[in-house]
Amino acid sequence: MSAQRIVVVGAGFAGLKAVQRLERELKGELARGEVEVVVVNPHDYMLYLPLLPQVAAGVITAQSVTVPLPRAIKRAQRLPGQVVGVDLQRKVAVVRKIDENVVDLPYDRLIITAGSVTRQFDIPGLEEHGLGMKNLGEAAYLRDHVLSQLELANASTDPEERAARCSFVVVGGGYAGTETAASLELLTDAALKRFPRLDPTLVKWTLVDIAPRLMPELGQRLGEEALDLLRRRGIGVRLETGVEEVTADSVTLTDGSVIPTKTLVWTAGVTASPLVKTLGVELVRGRVKTTTDLRLDGYEDVFVLGDAAAVPDLTASPPGSALCPPTAQHATRQAVIAADNVVASLRGQPLREYKHHDLGLVVDLGGTQAVAHPLKLRLTGMLAQLVTRGYHLYALPQARTRARVVFNWILHLFGGDDFIRIGFLHGRKSETSSFEETRDYLSEEEMKQRASAAS
């Protein structure tokens, strides 16, 4: 009898945790060759996204926020590539390997954890001129871009050009946008020492959000404290304001104001990986609707979790009336339940429902500043920063990665930044989708053609 094959799509927060749990729970079956686990991921690392703003700010190096898969995955097979379509009827994942070859990968159980991509809005100029902040490439590019703006402003004699190059706009007042604006403001502040011809008052950071509050999940009081803190540091926070248009030299806001700038960082929301559209199933707010045991409705062998899934929140009142938010906290915990449910389904045992009470949020505002809301406590300042950094160390999946991060923090604390641009993609233009797995998915027609060619 051939082995039962479990295919895991993606090795991020949810995917890696699910694979590790499957390796543990199916140790015997894997050793005897009764089950095989195949994980498909484009890169050979899991990315710890919450520390990306610190990569952009130069506090830690890019490699430090990666968890190497060859070390983290012991018994499962790794297939480097991207799943570009799923045929639920034939039970096949179509994989484009990194050598561009496209192959069919049949499965007995499928776990989809392809995460999310930056959500695009129909705003003129956004795709062309906006910069994303959702992967290593984007974080490294953003750092280079910000430093190059200061360098070019320093070398310019045109006051208008100088002002535009020294003005930076971040859109999205969630934790990703707030941390990005806060940590990069510290970077430009520190870098000014290296550009003696630049007037420090020229450098301006603006954080824009359509909502009336920053990070509503922090609660009103902490949200207001974060807002005060950012404003005291000179970061302009524009709430209840959206973006109307973006050009190479400016951003027009919905209140009619125009900010001359060459930098717009877009962090205003995410949407599920385009892979979910190839499933041809119902989507809720762009995510795949799942049952409470994390299965794709109507498909007993397919599990969807993490940012790609619309999972009913059983802690909401009434239970299931809301969806679990797309956070690492939920992705990791869903992975444990999904892996256990896959094992239970193979053994003919009952499946468990996913229910998790949110443990709160930690937000690093750079240096010694942070706000944190762990277990309903409200913390600010140095204590919040200690809790924030402690939380990241606890959540990072590998001792090696934890050690790198701590070492980088210490080095940065005592040695500061070297402010170099590594020349990443020098001279190339970046767009919000340049670094994301958003292209090359198979259309419904292409999937049908593959199915009829195979039959």
Binding site for ligand FAD (CB under 6 A): 9-15, 40-43, 49-50, 52-53, 82-83, 113-115, 133-134, 175-176, 273, 275, 306-308, 326-329, 331, 437
Strand-strand pairing, 243-246 and 250-253: antiparallel
* Amino acid letter, 449: Q
- In terms of CB distance, is 177 or 195 closer to ligand FAD? 177
User: For residue 16, what are the contacts with CB-CB under 8 A and spacing of at least 6?
Assistant: 46, 67, 69, 72, 73, 335, 397
Choice between 143 and 162, CB closer to ligand FAD: 143
- Nearer Cβ to ligand FAD, position 191 or 215? 215
- Provide the minimum distance between the beta carbon of 219 and ligand FAD in the complex, in angstroms, as a whole number: 16
At 199, list the tokens: 């007037």
Using the minimum distance from each CB to ligand FAD, give the nearer residue, 195 or 360: 360
Which CB sits closer to ligand FAD, 115 or 166? 115
Euclidean distance between CA atoms 273 and 119, whole angstroms: 10
Burial of 405 from C-beta contacts in 10 A (0-12 / 13-18 / 19+): buried
Shortest distance (Å) from residue 7 CB to ligand FAD: 10
Q: Which residue is nearest to ligand FAD (CB)?
A: 12
In whole angstroms, the minimum distance from the beta carbon of 290 to ligand FAD comes to 13
**Nearest distance, CB of residue 146 and ligand FAD, angstroms:** 15
Angle at the Cα of 264 from the Cα atoms of 262 and 266, rounded to 5 degrees: 165
Write the DSSP symbol of residue 213: S
Nearest approach, Cβ of 154 to ligand FAD (angstroms)?
A: 28
CA distance 288 to 308: 6
Q: Report the residue number, 134 or 238, with the smaller CB distance to ligand FAD.
A: 134
Q: How far is the CB of 50 from ligand FAD (least distance, A)?
A: 3
Shorter beta-carbon distance to ligand FAD: residue 90 or 194: 90
> Minimal distance in Å, beta carbon 177 to ligand FAD?
8
175 or 354, CB closer to ligand FAD?
A: 175
Contact between 253 and 126 (Cβ < 8 Å):
no
Distance of closest approach, residue 183 Cβ to ligand FAD, in angstroms: 10
- Kindly tell me which of 45 and 419 has the beta carbon lying closer to ligand FAD: 45
Rounded to 10 deg, the angle between the 399-415 and 381-395 helix axes is: 150
CA distance to 249, 330, 402, 417, per residue, from 303 (Å): 45, 15, 30, 44
What would you report as the CA-atom Rg of the chain, rounded to the nearest whole angstrom? Answer: 23
Each residue of 92-123: b (16+ CB within 10 Å) or e? Answer: bbbbbeeeeeeeebebbbbbbbbbbbbebeeb
Question: H helices within 371-443, ranges in order?
Answer: 381-395, 399-415
Tell me: cis bond preceding 318? Omega within 30 of 0 counts.
Answer: yes
Q: Could you tell me if 168 and 142 are in contact, meaning their C-beta atoms sit under 8 angstroms apart?
A: no
CB of 415 to ligand FAD, least distance (A): 25
Place of tokens 């015997």: 28
Q: Whole-number minimum distance, CB 96 to ligand FAD, in Å?
A: 9
Q: What is the DSSP letter of 94?
A: E
Secondary structure class of 46 (helix, strand, coil) = strand
* Shorter beta-carbon distance to ligand FAD: residue 288 or 346: 288
Pick 173 or 326: Cβ nearer ligand FAD:
326
- Which ranges of 308-441 does DSSP label H, i.e. alpha helix? 328-347, 381-395, 399-415
Q: How far apart are CA 50 and CA 259, in angstroms?
A: 28
Helices within 156-301 (DSSP H only)? 159-165, 175-191, 220-232
> What is the smallest separation between the CB atom of 151 and ligand FAD, expressed in angstroms?
25
